[in-house]
Amino acid sequence: MADDEAAAVAALLEALAEHTGPPVSVSELCRRTGLSRPTVETAAPMVLVLLSAFGVLRSEHEPTNGQAGVVPVSPQARYFLHSLASYVRTGRSILANWERPGTAEPPYTSRQALSGPQFLYLMEERRLALDSDAAPLRRTDVVQVVVKCRLRGRGGRAQYLLVYDDRARQYQLPGGHIRASDADVRAAAARELEEELPGYDHTPGRDELKELGTVSAVQLSRTFGAVTEYRVVFFQLESKARSIPVGPGGRWVPEDALLDQVTLLDGTTLNVTALNRLDQSLPGGLRSLPWSLPDAQRRSLRAVVRDRPWETVGLVIGILGLLLSVIPLLG
């Protein structure tokens, strides 16, 4: 924005902020600030339209001449207009970090709240709340893989593998975006498994990916902050392997918790909107799917400790107590 244009917009914002009387027309505000007629006819109305998106102005008709007039809705709104005028006049930016993907859930630090993608996420969250049919800003094709197993020590109940997405800060099924370099969606699913499960090597003849269906879901992107339409192609992994390698970011979740929208895993929400729709579209739901592995999956020591921390602490204390009681006998 040129210096004279920035000065004109800042002057208009200041005039709006300082007006405390009845609603006043745009032309009157421009006259008070000495703005030129082209500014009155073009820039000023555009500024007011933009400000209406922030809800800081109330529009009424002037009682004297019937023209549309505006007035700030509160003292806080006036302070907002003064602050905005300062940013416009100095050419400084309110928001930053537009290049950095990823958003977070509250509470926010001041730096997070003024991060571009985070601010966009809050805007889009409100837009979706005001209109559940809000048009998505982006569309993308992704693939996700269902891995259904029995785990030793969990009573034979079905468990489903989720992995943590660092950028979205959520747990979800293994999978990701389909790339132009992928031969097809099945190849994309195999690639994602190899990338997200450390030590996993997709082996034809041993490992098979069976397509379950395609689901569309419109939801907020935790990475880009925009309302997004996801076209999700689901597969299930069926393997003759004895076990599936699960990295530190992997978690096994029972079916009832998996499909519950309020479930938290390590204090983090689950991204399972599309999976719930898949469950509703499958005859018999996820329960009808076969096991991904022929045998029950062993759990790592880390997983056992994470699932039963107090029992583990008690066991360690018991072992230490036994050792302390034996040591004097050895002397």
Domain ranges of the chain: 3-90, 95-134, 138-302
Residue 299 is predicted with a pLDDT of 64
Q: By the 8 A CB rule, do 155 and 263 touch? A: no
N residues, the chain: 331
The reply to whether CATH 3.90.226.10 applies to domain 138-302 is: no
Residue 24 is predicted with a pLDDT of 85
Q: By the 8 A CB rule, do 125 and 118 touch? A: no
Round to whole Å and give the CA distance between 58 and 77.
10
Q: Helices marked H in the chain — which ranges?
A: 3-18, 26-33, 37-38, 44-52, 75-90, 110-113, 116-130, 185-196, 255-258, 273-281, 301-307, 309-330
Nearest by Cα to 272 from 136, 133, 174, 128: 174
Residue 313 is predicted with a pLDDT of 52
Residue 171 is predicted with a pLDDT of 95
Residue 76 is predicted with a pLDDT of 97
Residue 102 is predicted with a pLDDT of 86
DSSP reduced 3-state for 255: helix
Residue 310 is predicted with a pLDDT of 46
Residue 251 is predicted with a pLDDT of 94
DSSP reduced 3-state for 232: strand
Q: What is the maximum span of the chain, computed from C-alpha positions, in angstroms?
A: 105
Residue 304 is predicted with a pLDDT of 43
Residue 294 is predicted with a pLDDT of 93
Residues of the chain with pLDDT under 50: 301, 303-305, 308, 310, 312
The CATH architecture to which 3-90 belongs is Orthogonal Bundle (1.10)
